[in-house]
Structures are given as structure tokens and as C-alpha cells.
């Protein structure tokens, strides 16, 4: 197939996602590694991200059995996600964007074959290219990101919320989130797994079995072998272990719309997490929803520096042996409060609020 054909495939997948991604030879190679030419032709029927089987049949000259076989293959590869509509009960097949989307599903199963290693290397190369593109056209790119919705919601370590600041709303308590859903799947941390595949393991040595899919996405993930069913009790146990490791609870909503239900919870470190790591690379901003901010009790703080060391956003400094929080960069995750040995750090409710932190300006070749 011609370069023009693969360019169209790339553009179709990018349009199905949230973030703009430049089309490059590396992106084309990723798609050629993921898709056969026949599968790529099928992807081109997606003029809109989601379609029912009847709508697909109207757009392609294939019999029903062949369409279902194609859909099944693309779902197993994480290129298309098939879930039943809550309102109609009809199955809807949604084309994934590149990132978030295909990247995550590529590494969710935790497999370590040559194909997965090649894809991890290609995605790393693509992220380097994205960083260069952002840095060379910094102001325009950041303005584009400002107009996009928040990627996720940051949930605090529940017990560290300051008493009396305001009633904690149910949607901000992570246990309440878990209790709302009967279908939950445990999956590999795709970010840490991808880093392992390029021999760049997590600096915290954090677990790779601590990400979750919820509701219809969990059902899909279990059906297609991306994860296994897990009880709510197990989920809470793993979330507590993630807090001990200094990880950030990130909630991802359906279609990146924080007013809709959730489809995933990740437990993120700043060295591997795609969202945070791309910020440190200088590729993209942090854009999250949070309702809390770290607050220091100066009388209790002894300047030990634990919060400085643990903060995933590097937003705390010591001034005259007292911790000082840069509120513009605080995402309200509660990692500092959870690990403070003197209980001098707490979370104060001031939101909900959008936290938008432009990426660092870095040197690029």
C-alpha cells in the first residue's frame, strides 16, 4: 500500500482520539506493525469513532460473519473496543485513538514478545518526536492543549483530607468509586510494562499489577483477555499498597469526560506514567481535575524533606527548613501527606478545579 493510504489510516486513528499527534514515519511504522493491510482498510470506514454492527455493514462490502471476525481480531489487539450501549443494549464498536487508547491496550496484557518489544521502542521514538515538536512550536502547541478537556481526575489519599474543610463529595472518594461498579478487571500497568520492554524500569520499583478497568470496559477487557476479574476487597488492598509505594491515583472517564462514568483507575509514578512522564520530557502539559491542594502546618513541619522527595510533581521545596508548596503545580494527590512522618502535611479542599501545568522547556536536538 502507498504512503498516502497509511497516512489516511493514521489520520483516522488520530481523529478518533483526544490528543493531536503528528503523522510521521514512526507513527506509520507503529500502525504497520499493529495492522495488516486488510485490517487497515477496515479501519478507514470509521468516519466517526463509534458504530454499531448495522452501521458498519452499511459502510463496507463484507458479509456479517467476516465483519464479526474482523472486529474480533481488532478487539483482541485493542484497536477497537466493543461494549453494549447502556441506553439501547446494542453493541457499539469504538475505534481507539493512538494515545490514550491503542498504546494502553498494546501493553495491557503484559506480554513480552518481539512484536511488543518493537512497539515499545517505536512508541518511545514517537514520544521523543512529539517532545521535539512541542518544544520547537511551544506557544502554539500549548494553546491547542489549553482548549482540550482534562485528561483525568486526580484522587487524593482518602484519609489525608483535612477534617472540617468541607464535606468530601462521594465522587472524590476512591472507595466510593470502587463500590459503584460490580464489574472490575485487574490489568497490567501498561506504562511500566512498556518501560520494562525498553530496559528502562520504574525507579520506584513499583508493582505492574495495579491498574483497573471498570464497568463495560472491564467486561470487554475480561472477554478479550486484557485482564482478570477482581473483587472490590482486592481493589482496595492494591490501592493501599500503591499509596505505600508513593503512587498517584488517576481516574480516567469515558471519552475523557469527567461528567461521565469511569473506565479506568491507574496508579502512577512520575518516571513511567505516560501523562506525567510526557510532562517531564517537555512533550505535553499536565491537565487534570482535582479538588484538593497540599497544605503545610508550619508548627509541625521539621523540614525533613520527605515530601520534597515523594512529590511526583516536584512542587514542594524547603525554605528555612519548612516545606513550601507551589500551589500552581500541586495536583492534590496526597502522596506528600500520606508519607509525612510528622503529620505536618494535609490536603485542603479548594475545588473542583482544573490544574493545567505547561510542560518544561527542554533542550532538543
| Each residue's pLDDT tens digit, 138-158 | 999 999 898 888 878 887 765
What's the pLDDT at 168?
A: 33
d(CA 237, CA 85): 31
Domain with CATH 3.30.70.20 in the chain: 140-357
Domain with CATH 1.10.10.10 in the chain: 3-107
What's the pLDDT at 165?
A: 36
CB-side exposure of 253: number of CA atoms within 13 Å? Answer: 16
Residue 55: strand, helix, or coil: helix
ω before 50 within 30° of 0 (cis)? no
Cα–Cα nearest to 329, from 255, 276, 261, 273: 276
Residue 161 has what DSSP assignment?
B
Which CATH number is 140-357's, of 3.40.50.300, 1.20.1300.10, 1.20.1050.10, 3.30.70.20? Answer: 3.30.70.20
pTM over 0.85: yes
User: Which residue positions in the chain have pLDDT lower than 50?
Assistant: 160-172
What's the pLDDT at 164?
A: 38
Q: What does the pLDDT look like over 210-223, one tens digit per residue?
A: 999 999 999 999 99
Cα–Cα nearest to 362, from 135, 138, 140: 135
Q: Which CATH architecture has domain 3-107?
A: Orthogonal Bundle (1.10)
Amino acid at each position: 500500500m502507498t504512503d498516502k493510504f497509511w497516512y489516511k489510516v493514521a489520520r483516522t486513528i488520530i481523529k478518533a482520539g483526544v490528543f493531536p499527534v503528528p503523522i510521521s514515519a514512526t507513527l506509520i511504522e507503529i500502525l504497520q506493525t499493529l495492522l495488516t493491510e486488510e485490517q487497515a482498510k477496515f479501519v478507514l470506514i470509521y468516519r466517526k469513532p463509534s458504530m454499531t454492527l448495522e452501521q458498519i455493514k452499511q459502510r463496507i462490502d463484507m458479509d456479517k460473519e467476516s465483519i464479526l471476525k474482523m472486529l474480533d481480531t481488532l478487539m483482541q489487539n485493542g484497536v477497537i473496543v466493543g461494549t453494549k450501549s447502556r441506553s439501547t443494549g446494542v453493541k457499539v464498536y469504538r475505534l481507539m485513538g493512538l494515545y490514550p487508547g491503542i498504546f494502553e491496550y498494546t501493553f495491557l496484557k503484559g506480554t513480552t514478545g518481539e512484536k511488543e518489544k518493537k512497539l515499545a521502542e517505536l512508541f518511545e521514538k514517537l514520544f521523543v518526536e512529539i517532545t521535539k515538536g512541542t518544544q520547537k512550536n511551544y506557544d502554539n502547541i500549548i494553546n491547542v492543549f489549553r482548549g482540550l478537556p482534562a485528561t483525568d481526575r486526580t484522587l487524593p489519599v482518602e484519609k489525608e483530607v483535612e477534617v472540617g474543610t468541607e464535606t468530601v463529595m462521594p465522587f472524590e472518594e476512591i472507595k466510593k468509586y470502587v463500590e459503584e461498579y460490580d464489574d472490575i478487571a485487574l490489568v497490567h500497568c501498561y506504562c511500566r510494562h512498556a518501560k520494562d520492554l525498553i530496559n528502562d524500569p520504574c525507579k520506584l520499583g513499583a508493582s505492574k499489577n495495579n491498574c483497573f478497568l471498570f464497568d463495560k470496559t472491564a467486561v470487554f477487557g475480561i472477554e478479550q483477555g486484557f485482564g482478570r476479574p477482581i473483587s472490590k476487597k482486592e481493589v482496595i488492598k492494591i490501592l493501599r499498597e500503591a499509596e505505600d509505594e508513593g503512587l498517584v491515583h488517576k481516574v480516567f472517564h469515558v471519552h475523557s469526560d469527567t461528567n461521565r462514568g469511569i473506565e479506568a483507575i491507574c496508579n502512577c509514578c512520575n518516571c513511567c506514567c505516560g501523562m506525567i512522564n510526557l510532562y517531564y520530557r517537555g512533550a505535553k502539559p499536565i491537565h487534570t481535575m482535582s479538588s484538593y491542594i497540599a497544605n503545610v502546618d508550619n508548627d509541625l513541619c521539621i523540614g525533613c524533606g520527605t515530601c520534597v522527595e515523594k512529590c511526583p510533581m516536584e512542587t514542594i521545596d524547603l525554605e528555612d527548613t519548612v516545606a513550601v508548596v507551589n500551589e500552581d503545580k500541586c495536583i492534590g494527590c496526597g502522596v506528600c501527606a500520606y508519607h509525612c512522618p510528622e503529620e505536618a502535611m494535609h490536603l485542603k479542599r479548594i475545588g473542583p478545579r482544573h490544574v493545567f501545568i505547561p510542560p518544561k522547556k527542554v533542550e532538543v536536538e
